Structure 1
């Protein structure tokens, strides 16, 4: 995704410079301001369209970007803020660049006398005023919506519904993008980029508003079992049609009248059912999920993600050492990893053959209190069956010291599924001890 994001900026800038070379602007304040407006406007427009495509979650998204969805949503947040920042720059270009413009003369605007306009000419003329005025209040609304990202007290469902307004704003701003461009610009590369961005953004904006996100990978499902513990709810869901889910992937779940929420798949059952471990961390997971009952209909979307065991397997020639670190409910994908490894081991004729095809792994689980973890017995049993060394750290007794993990040696690979604080601390300690950044795999928690 990084190549796409920075590649778009480079391509847009190159197209803009090519346009300046082919059709040089008048060297005065008005001509220069138009070109700066055009350049930063297309950049902002492109990043807004990218953010909308990610939010729409088309089935091809991970494959085309070669980036797992959890990481794509981090890019969604980043490029969304870039789009807002560039929009403000676009809006205030004349003010920001006033010192430069003051050194130039303003080309006088010729007074054009037209006859009475009718039909399409009248409509097109009137659209200019709307294109200008609507862009101002659309930018203000977008800034307000962007600020709501930091209001954690806002219920996730309400926040997500408000967030969809970006799609409506894109539709409105498309008039600004097309109407205020010079017709001659559409014959140049930058104008073609503008048209392409507008078409793609409009398509996925409409899909988001009409169909919702991820519809291509959505299937009806039914809840078959629910286990409610103090802070963990274990949900078993049976999709109407089989889904090819790999250990470590995640899916979105939606109950009636609720938006879809992402949860890691903790277990893949023989009949195709999926078991999710849901931690009470927010309003929905605390109040609504424990009330789900067997027989309830849900919508299931997935699978997504690339935090899979296959990414960490090695060949027989080089058996690697790995450290897997989970924080709290971050144990869910590792539970699926252990289940998959245990099943594979059971199918291998001897331990030596299994050892050649699997890494030497150690799983570390950081929890507050073992007594509050209903999955602990299952994790311990799966680790024994899979031949994976398992350790648990209770923060109520002693907190984990990340640097101490690597005093006896640095593993070849590191897998992390925890909150940002713990994941960052362990990753930094791993790199400081001599580990490679490219040997780190992460499942990201915080998308909002």
Structure 2
């Protein structure tokens, strides 16, 4: 990728976040109104634009994710734009009410109180309440997946009802095109993402235990294989088998290696009910695959690299090492609780002994957080080095802080976050 293309991808989502809501305001800018009333209307249009951007950013399309810098980046901006949209839409009726304070507080309250207004105003408040219910899922990441999914359905309903609120008020332009776009995005996500129309069919060919709590599953394609490169991850839904019951939902798994026939090898660690059940998965179970997405290595082939992996997070680095020989110096800092929990450790040691470009630093940390300050190279040794991270969120956050303290700029730190809620 050229530097210009890389910059364009980096700025793609911020530009989209600005262009869409500002375009709505330019289309329907209020003229000749009092300043507070005009501000309330502008806030409403800005909120509508940000909501449309937020909907677009929740699509799970590999090509779109490639254009916008990765699925993890899209989901981060999806959360940000959704929250900003809700704040602006909440300011919309507040500013309209404030514009009537000059007449009397009672008049201002009538603007806010749905009980004194007609159904078009009621629909606006209903849309806001549904958006609030949907946003609960953003601030409660520990809730069960089925509850989170229900709340997100309410968020989508809130978007549609909020747009119908404008139509009921007699504002057809540009609301009808916005409503059509929102319905198309929601339908696209439902059909291609949630129902899996975009998924490719696979079948479990083999399953071998890596450790007591992890397994490597080989998926053989039953049709055209998914387009995946080493270090990427895929979204997989496993079906039912004679002695296995699938979870009925898509989960992200990193590809540990690719077969010439398109077979995907996935490393799975038991971190929850669904992945714990996968420890007993057997050949013959069907699967659906969407992807591939992302990859913590980014566009970093030419420069020396530092790889920091925690536990199952070593998988994308193993995939790259399986795919080709290194062309630049790479130091892999692999952190795990104990050797019994360390997947691919013997393979990595064999690779490091035969590849002069690879330096392996394998550390058993026990149950205590690792001392990254004592394990990472000093600032001088990190000059011009691209740093790639993969592992638990706590490790990634600590590594970011430690690298930043050594003068490593954020653009030289690459990682993926697999929490897509």
Bin of the TM-score, shorter chain as denominator length:
0.7 to 0.9
Note if contact 2:207-2:218 (Cα within 8 Å) is conserved in structure 1.
yes
Give 2:382's aligned residue: 410
Give 2:77's aligned residue: 75
Unmatched 5+ stretches in structure 1? 109-127, 315-319, 346-357
Give 2:217's aligned residue: 235
CA 1:276–1:175: 2 relative to 1, 3 Å? same
Note if contact 1:164-1:209 (Cα within 8 Å) is conserved in structure 2.
no
**C-alpha separation in 1, matches of 2:202 and 2:410:** 39
Give 2:307's aligned residue: 324
The Cα RMSD (Å) is 3.0
**C-alpha separation in 2, matches of 1:170 and 1:283:** 32
**C-alpha separation in 1, matches of 2:12 and 2:310:** 31
**TM-score, normalised to structure 2's length?**
0.82
Q: How does 1:337-416 map onto structure 2 within 5 Å? A: 337-342=320-325, 358-387=327-356, 388-396=358-366, 399-404=369-374, 405-407=376-378, 409-411=381-383, 412-416=385-389
Give 1:9's aligned residue: 18
Note if contact 2:66-2:294 (Cα within 8 Å) is conserved in structure 1.
no
Unmatched 5+ stretches in structure 2? 1-9, 108-116, 240-246
CA 1:222–1:10: 2 relative to 1, 3 Å? closer
**C-alpha separation in 2, matches of 1:304 and 1:3:** 17
1:224 corresponds to 2:226: no
Note if contact 2:213-2:279 (Cα within 8 Å) is conserved in structure 1.
no
TM superposition shift of 1:150: 3.8
From 166, 171, 181, the counterpart of 1:200: 181
TM superposition shift of 1:176: 1.7
Note if contact 1:33-1:94 (Cα within 8 Å) is conserved in structure 2.
yes
Length, aligned pairs only: 389
1:28-52 deviation per Cα after TM superposition (whole angstroms, max 9, x unaligned): xxxx454223211222222222222
Note if contact 2:131-2:159 (Cα within 8 Å) is conserved in structure 1.
no
**C-alpha separation in 2, matches of 1:403 and 1:340:** 31
**C-alpha separation in 2, matches of 1:9 and 1:38:** 17
CA 1:141–1:390: 2 relative to 1, 3 Å? same
1:152-177 deviation per Cα after TM superposition (whole angstroms, max 9, x unaligned): 45332442354233333323222123
Q: Radius of gyration: which is bigger? A: 1
Secondary structure at 1:325's aligned position in 2? strand
CA 1:19–1:44: 2 relative to 1, 3 Å? closer
**C-alpha separation in 1, matches of 2:236 and 2:155:** 23
CA 1:177–1:102: 2 relative to 1, 3 Å? closer
